[in-house]
Amino acid sequence: MSAAPDGGHLICSRRGCGAAATRAVLWRNPRIHAQDRTKVWLACDEHEEVLREHLALRAFPVRTCAVEDIPEGAG
């Protein structure tokens, strides 16, 4: 997960975006990750849909949640 350089708020994973993350995009690549492995991209309100669609187009299992609700062990 991406933290701000000052160690403060989580920031959006979209390249070039420095906005605070409010959502988590949870995904895995089924060809290389076991079913219990979940990767996390952080998203601001503006980029949640873009990041989710990028993964969904590749047929990766994907879901979103609030950053406060990221499952234990995800990442």
pLDDT at 57: 97
pLDDT at 63: 96
66 has a pLDDT exceeding 50: yes
- pTM for this entry: 0.85
User: What is the C-alpha separation between 34 and 15, in angstroms, rounded?
Assistant: 27
Query: Are 57 and 27 in contact, with CB atoms under 8 Å apart?
Result: no
Predicted confidence (pLDDT) per residue in 4-47, tens digit: 445 678 999 999 999 999 999 999 999 998 988 999 999 999 99
Structural domain boundaries of the chain?
Answer: 1-75
